[in-house]
């Protein structure tokens, strides 16, 4: 079955860095766009970054552009998020998510699988 397992979260001081990883299994990783989505404590869901299926096109929310970098290794079935210059407002749970491919007459797009999340706390 589809599995997405995040790691790398933790406590970091403002201005610090963290690297999140997501190991996937149960599907053909190289077929799918992938994203990171975060959730601040007690708040809703916020898209952070996306990569296409080859890693050749990436996109970022305005709030993280220039500080975060998404990457993927299709040979190792892994997705990464390098987070630099972290701020307290980056605190939250970070989810690795898969985006759907076209199937059954439905076009590609939208999140169809979630990891369990990894917590990030930015605090002095």
Residues 18-57 that bind other proteins (CB under 8 A): 33, 35, 37, 44-47, 50
Q: Is 8 exposed, middle or buried (0-12, 13-18, 19+ CB in 10 A)?
A: middle
Of 8-16, 65-73, 76-84, 107-115, which part binds other proteins (CB under 8 A)? Answer: 107-115
CA 102: distance to chain centroid? 21
User: Under the criterion CB under 8 A, does residue 69 sit at the interface with other proteins?
Assistant: no
Q: Which residues bind to other proteins, rule: CB under 8 A?
A: 33, 35, 37, 44-47, 50, 59, 93, 95, 99, 104, 106-107, 109-117
């Amino acid at each position: 079955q589809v599995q997405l397992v995040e790691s790398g979260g933790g406590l970091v001081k403002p201005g610090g860095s963290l690297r999140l990883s997501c190991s996937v299994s149960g599907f053909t990783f190289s077929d799918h766009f992938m994203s990171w989505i975060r959730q601040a404590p007690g708040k809703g869901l916020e898209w952070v970054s996306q990569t296409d299926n080859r890693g050749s096109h990436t996109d970022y929310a305005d709030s993280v552009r220039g500080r975060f970098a998404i990457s993927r290794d299709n040979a190792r079935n892994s997705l990464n998020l390098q987070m630099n210059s972290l701020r307290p407002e980056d605190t939250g749970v970070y989810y690795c998510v898969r985006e759907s491919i076209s199937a059954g007459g439905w076009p590609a797009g939208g999140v169809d699988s979630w990891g369990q999340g990894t917590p990030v706390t930015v605090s002095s």
